[in-house]
Amino acid sequence: MVAKEHSLPATSNYNVAKLLLIGLVFHVVYIGSVFDCYFTSPVVHGMQRHGAQTDGSTAAKRLVLIVGDGLRADLLFNVNAFPDIAGSPEIVAPHLRSIVEERGAFGISHTRVPTESRPGHVAIIGGMYEDVSAVTKVEFDTVFNQSRVTFSFGSPDILPMFSRGATPGRVKTWSYDEDEEDFTKDATALDVWVLDQMKTLFKNATKDTVLDAELRSDKVIFFLHLLGLDTTGHSYRPHSKEYMKNIQIVDEIVRETEHLLSDFYQDDRTSFIFTADHGMSTIGNHGDGHPDNTRTPLIAWGSGLRGPLPDSNPSSHDEYSEPWKLGHLFRRDIEQADIASLMASLIGIDWPANSVGVLPDVDPRRPGYLDTTTGEEAAARAAFVNAKVILEQYRVKHELQEKHTLFYVPFAPLAEVSVFNTAPQLVAIQTLLQEQKWELSRQACFDLIHESLKGLHYLQTYDRFLIKAFVTAAYLGWAVYASLYILRPSDNSSDSLVHATSTARIIKFASWTILIGFWVSFALQKRPWTFYIYIAFPCYFWQKFFLQASLFSRLRTGYAMEQFGSAFMRCLIVVFALLCMVIGYTHRSIWSAGFVFVGVFWPLFWTKGLLSQNLKTCILWGLSCLATAIFPLLPVDKSESLATIVTGGFVILFVGISSTFYVLRGFESDARGKKLASLFVVQNFLIAITMLITASSVKSLQAKQGLPTLNQWTGWIVLVSSSVLPFFSRVKGHTKYSKILMYFLGFGPCFVILSISVEGLFFVAYSVTLVAWIRVEQINRQSARLVKELNRATERSLSQAPPTTYQFHLDDLRIALFFLFFVQVGFFGTGNVASISSFYLAPVYRLIPIFNPFYMSTLLIFKIIAPYVMLSVTFAVLNDALHLPPFSLLLVALTITDGMTLTFFYQVQDTGSWLEIGQSITFFCIASLLLLWSAGICAGGEYLMADVISAGATSRSRKTK
């Protein structure tokens, strides 16, 4: 159904460019709202420092921290961890295994998202979880900075961040060159280099008395960052023979490190901590909250640490640790930040100021990691320090919040904590310590620590309700504001009529009063500058909407009651479709079901005879949808398959050559046709060359012969030239479909050289479906059901070239939904919905063998963008084929997109499993960027297809004269 047609003025009051600009700014700004609401920086300053007062004769004099970057707990501990590798040993790390069984304590260190190297090391060494919105921006304290001196060896990506913020000269680093991080080489050399540098350090100490004295002092830390496992896992995946051998190398490095320190010091005053910053997914990636990425090993032994204990009742083990065959020994799991507390306790240094780690020994109900064979006093006093450190953070944050908040409500259980008095809980614990009631004091510390952590969470989420209110009002306000550009109530009214009434004055006064009132409140409370912007958007949106709300009454005359019923039903369908898309983020089969519905069932609802009259088009549409529906059903974990890559290349070639003959049928004797034919021949040739280069590179890399320089350079030349050719081609005379074909062939090489499996086949199916969509929508718009209602409007629109105003039809809601559906399928078609980490790194090594995060990420993003070039050009052609002004359908999409965004905002979690936390953030960010991305797609398509669209509009104009 369609609204009754209105006589529109020549100049509309609605500027689409203005709407898009406001929308872009609004959504970019409001992405930050999720972090202000759920994740704020834990770093504050001004805390009093606390440290364990250990006996110098019994505390460890030094500590060795060894981090196996990217090491999964199961692949270290499992018996027969690599069953598919011929000749693999039953115990892959015999030395570490012997420590677990004979000398040390072990368990799992649970990491948080993002499971990346920087936040993992910050948690281990700083005892805090970095605010994901302020990574690299905030300086933080670490156990390294509290040591007398730290000697660190390893990656140039990790070591500098702990030396820059430390006291000058306290953290000394030895790093290899970035070029050594070559994914095509044996990464174990990086780990061996670390051990060699440490050997050289001790050797130099025999000749350097200053260095020797420094090494023999107390409170010394050695940090060995072993990057090889992470590099090997990315290159060959964690279940590979290469990863297994790298674990064996790491095990040998641990053994030699022990012997090195034992020979040099000739004492037993060294503590050892072995762990990992994050794990590794089956496909060789990390970053999200999958358990394979969050479960890392922890082994602790040496001075001050207990030995193995018999398992408890109930057992400390579960199904995950059953393959370890360590069920007879007690497994003690901790959170990753707890490691910093453990290290500070072992060598008797001040704890990092912002540490939220809980010493495992605080809980008196379960054994921890400290050696309590000589008594529990040390554990009790360390627990007391732990309580004071976390309570001190609460005190400082409490005072800051109280100082800058109107009508502040303190956290009730800790309301008596202030700078002027001592917390009664601490006084009670001190009394228990004086009475030598060690277990009771530990229990009191345990309770106080968890109350303090709850208090910290309370303060960090203090403004959550207010921000949620802003966000809800803003996103709903955006929806109603964008709807004005569809219904255009003021186009028939003068601006003076809209803005000069008494009602309008009241609306303006109220909105400005609310805005200024909030701004004054924020100024008094010294709120972040983002709060001022957050409140400005909803005030603006709702003011604009209410100013024109009275004009909506005239639109009622344009609808019969049954039309309102039809509109209501379609709105329900829109809501249902959006909810299905939300579910699709966690259940990929939803996207496949969507293709089946739109490709098979939707045409069945067409008017009688329409299906039979357009049977060929419907068959193409249905088959292409069914083909594309296959890909979301395929497993996310894929292995490199040269056969599938080459098959995808051949299919791209076949479709390209077939389409070339089809689009050139009208140019056979035309000079323009010859130029286009030459262009398509060159593009098809580049695809063929890419297939040969990719096959050669894959074979060379799989044979561990490295990436041939000729292949690397040729690959770059072909990829760049094929990708830029469509944008800089000077061939004129394109039709709409020949230009679509040009972009399809231009990005064909991308989906050969950067594919690991079926991506090339997906690109073909997705592109064919988009082209079929254009024709299907043309047929549907011209269907018999709409002929009578659209006849006059169609004639009028065809008489204008190009059309300048947009007449909203309810059917446009469905087209906008289809567009949003294709936008998301373009991203999720071959990757995991849960995380961008599911996009494989292996194809990148065919172009960049040396570790370079920026360029590697750029290639991955380029691969993700490529399908959207096809969507942008086809959507521009569709918009023109329906004789609509530019961005018309986007306007409809703008009003409904944020239904998903708001849903995901309320689903964001800051507690629970790391998988749930990581996914919730990812989902919101993707949904928030959906509008920005959609607008970019539309703008890009209008620009890329401007010449053929304007030519088509001119041709239509001539025919109507």
Report the distance separating Cα 61 and Cα 196, nearest Å. 23
Q: State mean pLDDT over 290-298.
A: 92
Q: What is the pLDDT of residue 931?
A: 67
Its pTM surpasses 0.95:
no
Per cent of the chain over pLDDT 70 is 84
Work out the mean pLDDT of the chain and round it to a whole number.
Answer: 83
Q: What is the pLDDT of residue 959?
A: 47
Listed ranges 69-78, 139-148, 632-641, 780-789; the one with the highest mean pLDDT: 69-78
Residue 360 has pLDDT above 80, yes or no: yes
Residue 953 has pLDDT above 60, yes or no: no
Q: What is the pLDDT of residue 512?
A: 92
Catalogue the E-assigned strands of 190-247.
220-226
Q: What is the pLDDT of residue 139?
A: 67
**Contact present, 293 and 115 (Cβ < 8 Å):** yes
Angle between helices 853-881 and 736-746 (to 10 degrees): 170
The tokens for 754 are: 């950067």
Angle between helices 464-487 and 16-31 (to 10 degrees): 160
How does pLDDT run across 443-453, given as a tens digit for each residue?
999 999 999 99
Any idea which of 210-224, 567-581, 674-688, 787-801 has the lowest mean pLDDT?
787-801
Query: DSSP letter at 360?
Result: G
Q: What is the pLDDT of residue 75?
A: 96
Q: What is the pLDDT of residue 795?
A: 43
Any idea which of 19-23, 190-194, 458-462, 930-934 has the lowest mean pLDDT?
930-934
Q: What is the pLDDT of residue 195?
A: 96
**Contact present, 701 and 184 (Cβ < 8 Å):** yes
**Contact present, 242 and 236 (Cβ < 8 Å):** yes
Q: What is the pLDDT of residue 159?
A: 92
How does pLDDT run across 119-176, given as a tens digit for each residue?
899 999 999 887 654 444 456 789 999 999 999 999 998 998 888 777 888 999 999 9
**Contact present, 88 and 82 (Cβ < 8 Å):** yes
Q: What is the pLDDT of residue 1?
A: 38
Residue 790 has pLDDT above 60, yes or no: no
Peptide bond preceding 708: is omega within 30 degrees of 0, i.e. cis?
no
Report the amino acid identity of residue 708.
Answer: P
Q: What is the pLDDT of residue 450?
A: 93
Q: What is the pLDDT of residue 919?
A: 65
Other C-beta atoms closer than 10 Å to the C-beta of 279 total 25
Cβ neighbourhood burial of 754 (10 Å; 0-12, 13-18, 19+): buried
Pairing between β-strand 105-110 and β-strand 334-335 as defined by DSSP bridges: parallel
**Contact present, 802 and 950 (Cβ < 8 Å):** yes
- CATH superfamily for domain 58-373: Alkaline Phosphatase, subunit A (3.40.720.10)
Cβ neighbourhood burial of 377 (10 Å; 0-12, 13-18, 19+): middle
C-alpha distances in Å from residue 14, one per residue of 495, 554, 898: 11, 18, 21
CATH 3.40.720.10 domain range(s) in the chain? 58-373
Q: Torsions phi, psi of 418, nearest 5?
A: -155, 175
Q: What is the pLDDT of residue 328?
A: 95
Q: State mean pLDDT over 923-945.
A: 77
Residue 52 has pLDDT above 90, yes or no: no
Residue 501 has pLDDT above 80, yes or no: no
Q: What is the pLDDT of residue 82?
A: 94
How does pLDDT run across 57-110, given as a tens digit for each residue?
567 999 999 999 999 999 999 999 999 898 899 999 999 999 999 999 999 999
Q: State mean pLDDT over 357-367.
A: 92
Residue 553 has pLDDT above 80, yes or no: no
Q: What is the pLDDT of residue 794?
A: 44
Report the distance separating Cα 902 and Cα 307, nearest Å. 51
Report the distance separating Cα 804 and Cα 795, nearest Å. 14
Q: State mean pLDDT over 387-415.
A: 87
Alpha-helical segments (H) within 277-373: 291-294, 338-347
**Contact partners, residue 484, CB within 8 Å, separation at least 6:** 14, 490, 544, 545, 548
Q: What is the pLDDT of residue 801?
A: 40
Report the distance separating Cα 470 and Cα 458, nearest Å. 19
Residue 885 has pLDDT above 70, yes or no: yes
Q: What is the pLDDT of residue 625?
A: 93
Q: What is the pLDDT of residue 583?
A: 83
